[in-house]
Structure 1
Amino acid sequence: MTDTDVDSHKIVFPCADYPIKVIGDTGAGFTAMVIEVLGKYAEVDLATLAERQSSNGKYTTVQLHIIATGEEQLSDINSALRATGPVRMVL
Protein backbone atom coordinates (compact mmCIF):
# COMPACT_ATOMS: atom_id res chain seq x y z
CA MET A 1 0.00 0.00 0.00
CA THR A 2 1.39 3.39 -0.95
CA ASP A 3 1.05 6.69 0.88
CA THR A 4 -1.37 7.81 -1.82
CA ASP A 5 -3.63 4.81 -1.07
CA VAL A 6 -3.66 5.66 2.64
CA ASP A 7 -4.45 9.33 2.01
CA SER A 8 -7.33 8.47 -0.31
CA HIS A 9 -9.06 6.57 2.53
CA LYS A 10 -8.59 9.26 5.16
CA ILE A 11 -11.78 10.65 6.70
CA VAL A 12 -12.23 14.39 6.29
CA PHE A 13 -14.09 16.04 9.16
CA PRO A 14 -16.77 17.16 9.41
CA CYS A 15 -18.29 14.17 7.65
CA ALA A 16 -22.02 14.66 7.05
CA ASP A 17 -22.80 11.02 6.23
CA TYR A 18 -20.71 8.85 8.57
CA PRO A 19 -22.11 5.33 9.09
CA ILE A 20 -22.16 3.79 12.58
CA LYS A 21 -22.98 0.10 12.96
CA VAL A 22 -23.75 -1.23 16.43
CA ILE A 23 -24.06 -4.96 17.18
CA GLY A 24 -25.49 -6.10 20.47
CA ASP A 25 -27.67 -8.50 22.39
CA THR A 26 -31.25 -8.55 21.14
CA GLY A 27 -33.61 -7.08 23.69
CA ALA A 28 -36.47 -4.67 24.16
CA GLY A 29 -35.33 -1.12 23.58
CA PHE A 30 -31.94 -1.90 22.04
CA THR A 31 -32.49 0.30 18.97
CA ALA A 32 -33.94 3.13 21.08
CA MET A 33 -30.94 2.95 23.42
CA VAL A 34 -28.50 3.15 20.48
CA ILE A 35 -30.34 6.18 19.05
CA GLU A 36 -30.40 7.87 22.47
CA VAL A 37 -26.66 7.40 23.03
CA LEU A 38 -25.77 8.55 19.52
CA GLY A 39 -28.03 11.58 19.92
CA LYS A 40 -25.99 12.76 22.91
CA TYR A 41 -22.87 13.04 20.75
CA ALA A 42 -24.01 13.71 17.20
CA GLU A 43 -26.81 14.70 14.89
CA VAL A 44 -28.43 11.41 13.83
CA ASP A 45 -30.14 10.87 10.47
CA LEU A 46 -33.08 8.62 11.43
CA ALA A 47 -33.96 8.20 7.75
CA THR A 48 -30.87 5.96 7.44
CA LEU A 49 -31.93 3.59 10.24
CA ALA A 50 -31.41 -0.06 9.33
CA GLU A 51 -32.01 -2.85 11.81
CA ARG A 52 -31.68 -6.61 11.50
CA GLN A 53 -31.30 -9.65 13.68
CA SER A 54 -28.86 -12.52 13.44
CA SER A 55 -30.18 -15.80 12.05
CA ASN A 56 -30.73 -17.19 15.56
CA GLY A 57 -32.12 -13.89 16.91
CA LYS A 58 -29.46 -13.56 19.60
CA TYR A 59 -27.92 -10.37 18.20
CA THR A 60 -29.32 -7.21 16.64
CA THR A 61 -27.44 -4.89 14.29
CA VAL A 62 -28.44 -1.23 14.14
CA GLN A 63 -26.92 1.04 11.52
CA LEU A 64 -27.37 4.81 11.34
CA HIS A 65 -25.56 7.73 9.76
CA ILE A 66 -24.37 10.69 11.81
CA ILE A 67 -22.57 13.96 11.28
CA ALA A 68 -19.07 13.14 12.49
CA THR A 69 -17.03 16.10 13.71
CA GLY A 70 -13.77 14.40 14.66
CA GLU A 71 -11.86 11.47 16.11
CA GLU A 72 -12.61 12.48 19.72
CA GLN A 73 -16.36 12.43 19.05
CA LEU A 74 -16.13 8.95 17.49
CA SER A 75 -14.09 7.69 20.43
CA ASP A 76 -16.64 9.11 22.88
CA ILE A 77 -19.49 7.44 20.98
CA ASN A 78 -17.67 4.11 20.99
CA SER A 79 -16.98 4.32 24.74
CA ALA A 80 -20.54 5.36 25.61
CA LEU A 81 -22.11 2.59 23.53
CA ARG A 82 -19.81 -0.10 24.97
CA ALA A 83 -20.57 1.10 28.50
CA THR A 84 -24.28 0.32 28.07
CA GLY A 85 -23.79 -3.43 28.55
CA PRO A 86 -25.70 -5.05 25.67
CA VAL A 87 -23.43 -3.57 22.96
CA ARG A 88 -20.88 -6.12 21.72
CA MET A 89 -19.26 -4.26 18.83
CA VAL A 90 -19.23 -0.76 17.30
CA LEU A 91 -18.09 -0.37 13.71
Structure 2
Amino acid sequence: MADDQEKSAKIEFPCPNYPIKVLGDAGDSLHTLVVEVFHRHAPGFDASAITIRDSAKGTFQSLTVTIEATGVEQLQAIFDDLKASKLVKMVL
Protein backbone atom coordinates (compact mmCIF):
# COMPACT_ATOMS: atom_id res chain seq x y z
CA MET A 1 0.00 0.00 0.00
CA ALA A 2 2.82 2.43 0.80
CA ASP A 3 4.30 1.84 -2.66
CA ASP A 4 0.97 2.80 -4.26
CA GLN A 5 0.87 6.03 -2.28
CA GLU A 6 4.43 6.92 -3.25
CA LYS A 7 3.70 6.31 -6.95
CA SER A 8 0.52 8.40 -7.02
CA ALA A 9 1.04 11.99 -8.08
CA LYS A 10 0.51 14.53 -5.34
CA ILE A 11 -0.27 18.16 -5.95
CA GLU A 12 1.69 20.71 -3.97
CA PHE A 13 -0.23 23.89 -3.22
CA PRO A 14 -0.16 26.56 -4.33
CA CYS A 15 0.00 25.04 -7.81
CA PRO A 16 0.43 27.60 -10.61
CA ASN A 17 -0.86 26.81 -14.10
CA TYR A 18 -3.33 24.16 -12.92
CA PRO A 19 -5.61 23.26 -15.87
CA ILE A 20 -9.29 22.42 -15.44
CA LYS A 21 -11.30 21.23 -18.43
CA VAL A 22 -15.06 21.73 -18.57
CA LEU A 23 -17.12 19.80 -21.13
CA GLY A 24 -20.67 20.90 -21.80
CA ASP A 25 -23.37 22.14 -24.13
CA ALA A 26 -21.95 24.58 -26.67
CA GLY A 27 -22.91 28.22 -26.36
CA ASP A 28 -22.46 31.50 -24.58
CA SER A 29 -24.27 30.21 -21.49
CA LEU A 30 -21.55 27.64 -20.79
CA HIS A 31 -18.81 30.24 -21.21
CA THR A 32 -20.64 32.68 -18.91
CA LEU A 33 -21.13 30.01 -16.25
CA VAL A 34 -17.46 28.99 -16.35
CA VAL A 35 -16.26 32.58 -16.03
CA GLU A 36 -18.63 33.24 -13.09
CA VAL A 37 -17.57 30.10 -11.21
CA PHE A 38 -13.87 30.77 -11.68
CA HIS A 39 -14.20 34.43 -10.68
CA ARG A 40 -15.90 33.25 -7.49
CA HIS A 41 -13.31 30.62 -6.55
CA ALA A 42 -10.10 31.76 -8.28
CA PRO A 43 -10.10 35.56 -8.23
CA GLY A 44 -7.62 37.06 -10.63
CA PHE A 45 -7.65 34.21 -13.13
CA ASP A 46 -7.18 35.27 -16.76
CA ALA A 47 -10.55 34.82 -18.49
CA SER A 48 -9.00 35.80 -21.83
CA ALA A 49 -6.76 32.71 -21.63
CA ILE A 50 -9.66 30.23 -21.68
CA THR A 51 -9.25 27.87 -24.62
CA ILE A 52 -12.41 26.64 -26.33
CA ARG A 53 -12.76 23.65 -28.63
CA ASP A 54 -15.96 22.70 -30.40
CA SER A 55 -17.04 19.11 -30.97
CA ALA A 56 -17.19 17.85 -34.56
CA LYS A 57 -20.91 18.62 -34.84
CA GLY A 58 -20.75 21.77 -32.72
CA THR A 59 -23.10 20.37 -30.07
CA PHE A 60 -20.56 20.41 -27.26
CA GLN A 61 -17.61 22.51 -26.20
CA SER A 62 -14.50 21.91 -24.16
CA LEU A 63 -13.26 24.90 -22.18
CA THR A 64 -9.84 24.72 -20.54
CA VAL A 65 -9.16 27.18 -17.75
CA THR A 66 -5.77 27.56 -16.08
CA ILE A 67 -5.66 28.84 -12.51
CA GLU A 68 -3.35 28.95 -9.52
CA ALA A 69 -4.82 26.20 -7.38
CA THR A 70 -4.61 27.09 -3.71
CA GLY A 71 -5.94 23.90 -2.14
CA VAL A 72 -8.22 20.90 -2.30
CA GLU A 73 -11.13 22.91 -0.90
CA GLN A 74 -10.89 25.43 -3.74
CA LEU A 75 -10.79 22.71 -6.40
CA GLN A 76 -13.71 20.86 -4.84
CA ALA A 77 -15.80 24.05 -4.71
CA ILE A 78 -15.09 24.72 -8.41
CA PHE A 79 -16.00 21.17 -9.40
CA ASP A 80 -19.18 21.20 -7.27
CA ASP A 81 -20.40 24.54 -8.68
CA LEU A 82 -19.71 23.51 -12.27
CA LYS A 83 -21.29 20.07 -11.94
CA ALA A 84 -24.42 21.60 -10.39
CA SER A 85 -25.34 23.07 -13.80
CA LYS A 86 -27.22 21.07 -16.42
CA LEU A 87 -25.00 22.72 -19.06
CA VAL A 88 -21.92 20.90 -17.75
CA LYS A 89 -21.47 17.25 -18.71
CA MET A 90 -18.01 16.62 -17.24
CA VAL A 91 -15.22 18.38 -15.32
CA LEU A 92 -11.66 17.10 -15.51
Where does residue 89 of structure 1 map in the other structure? Answer: 90
Post-superposition offset of 1:4:
3.9
Where does residue 22 of structure 1 map in the other structure? Answer: 22
Question: What is the identity percentage for the equivalent residue pairs of Structure 1 and Structure 2?
Answer: 39
Aligned pair 1:77/2:71, yes or no?
no
Post-superposition offset of 1:58:
1.0
Q: Secondary structure at the match of 1:35?
A: helix
**CA RMSD after TM alignment:** 1.6
Q: Where in structure 1 are there 5+ consecutive unaligned residues?
A: none
Post-superposition offset of 1:47:
4.7
Structure 1's consecutive aligned runs of 4 or more residues displaced over 6 angstroms after TM superposition are none
Per-residue deviation, residues 44-63 of structure 1 (Å, max 9, x unmatched): 23353110110011111000
Q: For this pair of structures, how many residues does the alignment match?
A: 89
Q: Secondary structure at the match of 1:63?
A: strand
CA distance in 1, matches of 2:39, 2:90: 18
TM-score, normalisation: structure 2: 0.85
CA distance in 2, matches of 1:4, 1:51: 35
Post-superposition offset of 1:5:
2.6
Post-superposition offset of 1:72:
1.1
Greater percentage in strand: 1
Where does residue 36 of structure 2 map in the other structure? Answer: 36
Where does residue 60 of structure 1 map in the other structure? Answer: 61
Q: Where in structure 2 are there 5+ consecutive unaligned residues?
A: none
Matching residue within 7, 13, 34 for 1:5:
7
TM-score, normalisation: structure 1: 0.85
Greater percentage in helix: 2
